[in-house]
Amino acid sequence: MASAVHWWVSIEACVHFIHVHRDLSHHKFEVMGMENIEMENTIVSVDDALEKLGGFSRFQLYITIVVLMSEIPVAASVFALIFTGTSNVDFNCIANDTHFKVESISAHDPRICNRNCTIVLDPVQSVVSIVQEWQLICDHAWLPDFLTSVQMMGTILGALTGSQFADAFGRKTAFYTNVGIFGAFGIVSGVANSIYLFGASRFLAGIGLGGFYCVYYIFFMEFLTPKWRTIAGCVSLWSVGIMTLALLAYLLKSWRYLTCAPSIAALSVICFYPFVPETPRWLLCKERTKDAEKCLRQIAKMNGKPPLDSAVVESLQKSVLQERKTENAPSACSWEIFRNPDLRIKIFLFIFAWFAVTLVYYCMCFNTKNVSGDPYLNVLYMGLVDLAAWPSGLLFNNW
């Protein structure tokens, strides 16, 4: 289920990236009567404007850190089910006193289901999970894994609508809305008084997670110039979130605290909402020229650069409109790209690659709870391996 979710998320991410760069193509346009003006002195695209305002400077570093920091609580909350849904708990099966039979006793393994099974609460148990809370053993032992699938089914739904929501309402609005949904329903699942409420809230949290996957990289990359996008795309704090989960699980023995803690941290990301602007690319695409100019002035101020003239911003707006008119771009639809044979082949190749990678990755991650050894160290090692892997993108990109 997890691999299927990220298979769809990868499609949405590829489609969303193509739509963004289709709508905001950076082709140069000619200006009548301006043949003698040097091209490097003329701002003809959003990338040119960002380069003029400092390229990758203080503002770009700020927005990159703010967005990537959200990965830490999100990753911790997603994989919290490794501990909160662990099936590594002891239970005994007790025979009825009036109908006692020798064969009802398990002489070798007290965890073999036979009759009247109940969980034995151990004061030194690593984490008190939902398995102990709702006696999810024997005939109900399949429920913890099913709840993980429920969360990921919600992620599918969020991924189906995530890019369209970002295109319609903006990258900033989509990012913070999805983080808010994920954090809020994560907290609800932490205080749930029944397995049904827990499952429903994890599903709704998954919707926010799917939307988050679709938009968070696009959000901060639209503030970056092309030469920095590859580098930023290889940077991730997801592994830090996994390692943070190991520490939280060690310190917080209750599944309720372990569920609520990263969800509250994710919800706190919304505090940055007033201090982060909408992307100028999206604003120009929606013909909100004044808002785009305000955003570019904010970037210039933080980077210590002179702001762009209103006439320059107007020319950027005309450039975007001219490009859209030239292409006669239809309304955004995820399936339009499949009409192009070349794009269709590339998309299917990306789908296969992402499916294979995510199948292995998420199966290994969620199965960590069944691996022998110290569960905290197992999750910590998982995060360390993930941390060591992301710089490889920079290395292989040069090939």
- Give φ, ψ of 243 to 5 degrees: -65, -35
Residue 327 confidence (pLDDT) above 70: no
Give the pLDDT confidence of 63-94 residue by residue, as tens digits.
999 999 999 999 999 999 999 987 666 666 65
Confidence of residue 391 (pLDDT cuts 50, 70, 90): confident
Average model confidence (pLDDT) across the chain: 81
Q: Which domains does the chain have, with CATH numbers?
A: 2-26+39-87+141-392 (1.20.1250.20), 91-124 (no CATH)
Confidence of residue 21 (pLDDT cuts 50, 70, 90): very low
Confidence of residue 389 (pLDDT cuts 50, 70, 90): confident
Beta strands in 103-203 (DSSP E): 117-119
Residue 30 confidence (pLDDT) above 70: no
Residue 338 confidence (pLDDT) above 90: no
Is pLDDT larger for residue 15 or for residue 347? 347
Q: How far apart are CA 220 and CA 208, in angstroms?
A: 18
Residue 241 confidence (pLDDT) above 80: yes
For 332: left if phi > 0, alpha if psi spans -120 to 50, otherwise beta; the answer is beta
The residue behind tokens 């950076």 is 26
Q: What is the pLDDT of residue 40?
A: 38
Q: What is the pLDDT of residue 126?
A: 53
Residue 26 confidence (pLDDT) above 60: no
The residue behind tokens 């827990």 is 198
Answering whether pTM is above 0.85, one says no
Q: How far apart are CA 296 and CA 314, in angstroms?
A: 12
Q: What is the pLDDT of residue 141?
A: 83
- Token pair for residue 182? 């994920």
| Beta pairing, strands 91-93 & 117-119 | antiparallel
Give the pLDDT confidence of 208-223 residue by residue, as tens digits.
999 999 999 999 999 9
CB 233 within 8 A of CB 391: no
CA distances from 2 to 33, 324, 347 (A): 57, 37, 20
Q: Which of 66-75, 311-320, 360-369 has the highest mean pLDDT?
A: 66-75
Give the pLDDT confidence of 183-193 residue by residue, as tens digits.
999 999 999 99
Residue 119 confidence (pLDDT) above 80: no
Q: DSSP letters along 46-111, please? A: HHHHHHHTTSSSHHHHHHHHHHHHTHHHHHHHHTTHHHHT-----EEE---GGG--GGGS-SS-TT
CB 143 within 8 A of CB 81: no
Q: Which of 254-258, 281-285, 360-364 is the least confident region?
A: 360-364
Element (H, E) at 129: none
